[in-house]
């Protein structure tokens, strides 16, 4: 019977120390691995006949500006739709060299999700077929969802910042 402890046991049996930081916030098994191993873990989760996590639900990035050396976290949300179990898998990377292997060879879903992550945060997915901006205009030269950039458009001259509480 597929349960969080069983999944954790199988992962530790296969990868040993390469997967760590297991936790279960609100019932969903969450763990981390180094960014060099992300494809190995994803392939294992997808192709193992007992685990069968063949569905990539979501892939996104979180920016932690205070954690030096591990600022950008790529979060994969995988699902086994036959048993109805979800698993969250995180990979941390440095903001100076944000290279992560792409998951498009395993899941077609990851194509645009990674483009969006590149557009918003600047994570460079190695091996992606078409890594260009998807949501913002082509000429934009910064990655807007990082914490240091403001929400509002800074080129406006008609809005009075004092009145709007900024």
Catalog residues that contact other proteins under the rule CB under 8 A. 25-26, 28, 30, 54-58, 60, 62-63, 75, 77, 81, 84, 86, 88, 107-109, 111-113, 116, 120, 130, 132-138, 144-145, 149-154, 156, 159
Q: How far is the CB of 13 from other proteins (least distance, A)?
A: 26
Which positions ≥6 away from 149 have C-beta within 8 Å? 142, 143
Which residue's CB is nearer to other proteins, number 36 or number 47?
A: 47
Residue with tokens 């995988």: 78
Q: How far is the CB of 99 from other proteins (least distance, A)?
A: 22
Q: How far is the CB of 4 from other proteins (least distance, A)?
A: 14
Q: How far is the CB of 41 from other proteins (least distance, A)?
A: 19
Which residue's CB is nearer to other proteins, number 8 or number 54?
A: 54
Which residue's CB is nearer to other proteins, number 36 or number 64?
A: 64
Which residue's CB is nearer to other proteins, number 13 or number 137?
A: 137
* Residue 109 CB coordination number (10 Å): 15
Helix (H) or strand (E) holding 15, with range, is helix 4-15
Read off the tokens for 9.
């046991």
Q: How far is the CB of 136 from other proteins (least distance, A)?
A: 6
Helix (H) or strand (E) holding 30, with range, is strand 29-33
Helix (H) or strand (E) holding 76, with range, is strand 72-80
Which positions ≥6 away from 54 have C-beta within 8 Å? 46, 80, 81
Q: Phi and psi for 130 in degrees, rounded to 5?
A: -155, 70
Which residue's CB is nearer to other proteins, number 16 or number 27?
A: 27
């Amino acid at each position: 019977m597929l349960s969080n402890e069983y999944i954790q046991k199988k992962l530790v049996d296969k990868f040993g120390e390469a997967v760590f930081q297991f936790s279960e916030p609100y019932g969903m098994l969450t763990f981390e691995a180094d960014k060099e191993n992300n494809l190995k873990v994803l392939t294992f989760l997808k192709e193992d006949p007992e685990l069968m996590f063949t569905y990539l639900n979501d892939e996104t990035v979180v920016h932690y500006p205070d954690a030096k050396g591990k600022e950008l976290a790529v979060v994969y949300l995988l699902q086994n739709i036959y048993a109805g179990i979800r698993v969250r898998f995180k990979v941390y990377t440095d903001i100076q060299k944000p290279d992560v292997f792409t998951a498009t060879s395993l899941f077609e879903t990851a194509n645009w999700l990674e483009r969006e992550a590149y557009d918003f945060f600047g994570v460079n997915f190695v091996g992606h077929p078409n890594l260009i901006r998807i949501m913002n205009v082509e000429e934009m030269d910064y990655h807007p969802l990082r914490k240091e950039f403001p929400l509002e458009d800074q080129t406006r001259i008609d809005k009075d910042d004092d009145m709007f509480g900024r």
